[in-house]
């Protein structure tokens, strides 16, 4: 049985203990759970486990290679005896202590480990909140075990034991445990580790044993007079699982890029978290950390969104369990496809809880991901369901968005019908291309859809306001057409394909020109979506007429659904913002005596870039 399967079997136990902790918290009137935070933490744990399928080489492969070729002592019989197992567990915990400690003392290691500390709550769901990038450098700290000849199987088992042990210490419902606290990592000791209070910062690194901290001077006892405040000093303020893993890396990359000294470009990654070159700190100042800035990130969620989140969470959890159960036996390419589906679903759920997208858009993205996966893996019946369903959801989303509660905010009817017509044309093209022999009707349907998109992007703008974009897109289209012609484009299709290439190039040019004129985020999203349309059609034509592309359906459909989602999302965001902008302008022009309050604090306070400075 693989470690992934063991995690799947342990999952019901995790949730049972979470339910018990939740019940105890309610009984004591000290509930430590918030729905969105708990879902976000467990989602990051799921992402950590699914991504680990692809970092197996770093986690086990390198260790096995070192064990086979450079082990200084080989005695498998000893290591598989009871004393050997106990020594291996202690040995692992010692190595883990140093990995954990360096994860707080070196910025690049903190970038991976920070994920585990980002929650501002402290409960058993926080234990499941794990990094997806820790294996990139973490394996280095276990090289001594390979050199000592600890067999890979023993290493894997004690690593799993060490990890599972740490689950129960993430709780506020268990108090001090007397003598146990002096020897072992306990809830009290680990609460200190997760706190950002000055007195508690960067303490208590032990995984199973706390004696390492006592030996090396990093132990701190929990003080009943100073309540632990949880999170990181650089607040995440997001439920996005991708940004949670990338936040610190992005900050380090920014500082490294802007540092003038080549030495400083390297030091940014090696120095303690929070260290910044003087020239970068001067050009891009950040406020000093203050406990007063530790405001709780808690965007509102309606009852409907909460129910949606719970259902989505249950479905994603089921999908992750199925993925992990068979991942070790499945082809890596198949695992990569299903991993992408789960990742899209997790991102969409986080975006809904955060209020970045609505529930219909999340369903559209998830349906598109399932259509892509079922097509790539030959699951024909599911493909026939999800491909048309995706565009049906898009049509419903646009139609529903046209009738908000405020009558003054209704969308422009002309642009509404243009967008609906473009999506209907795309739906027709999708259906035609699902059948053999209907390529021309499908091509015509998409041609009509793109013409509607051109008219949509023209609304309120001049024709092709950015001449450079027009020349560039026409140039790309001409180059693509020449490539198809040389690659064997059938004579009967040369004229229809030429017309199609011209129209889609004009669509992209109009979208880019609109973005340069409006200079706002929604129009930029629409322009990027038009660019994805060109890319998707280019991949489709290359695969059909020039040469087969590996996993062609993945690339063609993923870029196609990205295009549709960006255009729909960007256009709806623009339409929703337009009435607000107009109302604000009217208010400013009509009533200049009404002052705008300047002392309104933001709902979420900014934080610094790292946990420790």
pTM over 0.85: yes
Distance CA 53, CA 32 (A): 32
**pLDDT at position 602, please?**
35
Helix, strand, coil shares of the chain as percentages rounded to 5?
Answer: 70, 0, 30
Q: What is the pLDDT of residues 534-550, one digit of tens each?
A: 999 999 999 988 999 99
Residues linked to residue 209 through DSSP beta bridges, in sequence order: 184
Q: What torsion, rounded to 10 degrees, do the Cα atoms 597, 603, 609, 613 define?
A: 90
**Rounded distance between C-alpha atoms, residue 114 and residue 527, angstroms:** 34
Give CA–CA dist 164/7, Å, rounded: 9
Q: Could you give the C-alpha distances from 403 to 38, 407, 419, 420, 576, in angstroms and in order?
A: 33, 8, 15, 14, 11
Give yes or no for a contact between 292 and 279, defined as CB atoms under 8 angstroms apart.
no
User: What pLDDT, on the 0 to 100 scale, is given for residue 153?
Assistant: 94
Q: What is the pLDDT of residue 144?
A: 97
Instruction: With CA atoms as reference, report the closest residue to 355 among 390, 305, 411, 297.
Output: 305
Residue count of the chain: 613
pLDDT score recorded for residue 280:
95
**Residue 407: per-residue pLDDT:** 44
Question: Do the beta carbons of residue 190 and residue 204 sit within 8 Å?
Answer: yes
Q: What is the phi/psi pair of residue 119, to 5°?
A: -65, 140
Residue 184 φ/ψ, nearest 5 degrees:
-120, 155
The torsion angles phi and psi of 79, rounded to 5 degrees, stand at -65, -20
Within 10 angstroms of residue 348's Cβ, the number of other Cβ atoms is 23
421 to each of 109, 366, 416, 566, how far by Cα in Å?
51, 23, 9, 17
Cα separation, 377 vs 334, whole angstroms: 7
Tokens in use for 242? 């991708």
User: What was the pLDDT predicted at 579?
Assistant: 54
Mean pLDDT by 10 residues, the chain (613 residues): 86 96 96 96 96 85 93 93 97 98 97 96 96 93 96 95 96 95 97 96 96 97 94 93 97 96 96 95 91 88 96 97 91 94 97 95 97 95 95 93 56 82 95 88 92 92 91 94 91 90 95 93 94 94 91 94 95 74 45 37 36 42
């Amino acid at each position: 049985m693989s470690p992934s399967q063991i995690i799947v079997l342990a999952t019901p136990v995790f949730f049972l203990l979470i339910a018990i902790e939740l019940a105890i918290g309610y009984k004591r009137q000290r509930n430590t759970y918030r729905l969105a935070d708990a879902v976000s933490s467990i989602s990051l744990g799921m992402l950590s486990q699914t991504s680990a399928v692809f970092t197996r080489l770093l986690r086990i492969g390198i260790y096995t290679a070192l064990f086979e070729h450079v082990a200084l002592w080989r005695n498998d019989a000893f290591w598989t005896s009871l004393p050997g197992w106990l020594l291996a567990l202690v040995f692992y915990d010692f190595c883990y202590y140093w990995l954990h400690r360096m994860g707080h003392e070196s910025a690049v290691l903190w970038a991976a480990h920070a994920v585990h500390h980002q929650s501002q709550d402290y409960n058993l769901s926080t234990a499941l909140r794990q990094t997806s990038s820790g294996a990139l450098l973490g394996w280095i700290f276990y090289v001594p075990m390979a050199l000592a000849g600890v067999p890979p199987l023993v290493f894997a088992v004690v690593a799993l034991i060490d990890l599972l042990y740490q689950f129960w210490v993430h709780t506020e419902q268990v108090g001090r445990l007397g003598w146990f606290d002096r020897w072992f990592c306990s809830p009290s000791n680990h609460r200190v580790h997760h706190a950002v209070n000055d007195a508690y910062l960067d303490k208590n690194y032990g995984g199973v044993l706390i004696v390492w901290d006592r030996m090396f001077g990093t132990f701190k006892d929990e003080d009943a007079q100073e309540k632990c405040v949880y999170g990181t000093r650089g607040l995440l303020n997001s439920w996005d699982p991708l940004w949670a893993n990338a936040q610190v890396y992005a900050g380090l990359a920014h500082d490294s890029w802007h540092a003038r000294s080549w030495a400083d470009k390297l030091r940014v990654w090696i120095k303690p978290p929070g260290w910044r070159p003087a020239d970068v700190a001067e050009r891009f100042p950040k406020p000093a950390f203050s406990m007063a800035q530790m405001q709780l990130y808690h965007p509102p969620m309606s009852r409907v969104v909460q129910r949606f989140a719970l259902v989505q969470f249950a479905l994603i959890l089921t999908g992750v369990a199925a993925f992990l159960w068979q991942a070790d036996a499945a082809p890596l390419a198949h695992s990569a496809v299903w991993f992408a589906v789960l990742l899209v679903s997790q991102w969409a759920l986080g975006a809904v809880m955060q209020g970045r997208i609505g529930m219909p858009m999340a369903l559209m993205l998830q349906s598109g991901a399932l259509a892509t996966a079922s097509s790539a893996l030959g699951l024909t019946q599911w493909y026939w369901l999800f491909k048309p369903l995706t565009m049906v959801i898009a049509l419903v989303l646009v139609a529903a968005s046209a009738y908000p509660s405020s009558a003054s905010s209704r969308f422009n009817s002309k642009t509404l019908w243009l967008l609906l017509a473009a999506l209907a044309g795309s739906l027709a093209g999708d259906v035609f291309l699902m059948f053999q022999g209907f390529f021309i009707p499908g091509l015509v349907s998409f041609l009509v859809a793109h013409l509607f998109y051109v008219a949509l992007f023209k609304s309120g703008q001049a024709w092709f306001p950015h001449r450079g974009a027009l020349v560039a897109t026409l140039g790309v289209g001409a180059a693509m057409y020449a490539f198809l012609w040389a690659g064997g484009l059938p004579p009967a299709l040369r004229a229809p394909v030429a017309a199609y290439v011209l129209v889609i190039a004009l669509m992209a040019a109009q979208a880019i020109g609109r973005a340069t004129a409006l200079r706002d985020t929604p129009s930029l999203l629409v322009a990027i979506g038009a660019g994805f349309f060109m890319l998707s059609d280019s991949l489709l034509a290359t695969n059909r007429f020039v040469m087969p592309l590996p996993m062609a359906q993945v690339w063609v459909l993923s870029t196609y659904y990205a295009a549709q989602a960006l255009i729909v999302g960007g256009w709806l965001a623009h339409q929703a913002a337009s009435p607000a902008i107009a109302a604000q302008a009217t208010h400013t022009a009509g009533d200049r005596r009404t002052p705008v309050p300047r002392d309104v604090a933001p709902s979420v306070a900014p934080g610094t870039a790292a946990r420790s400075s």
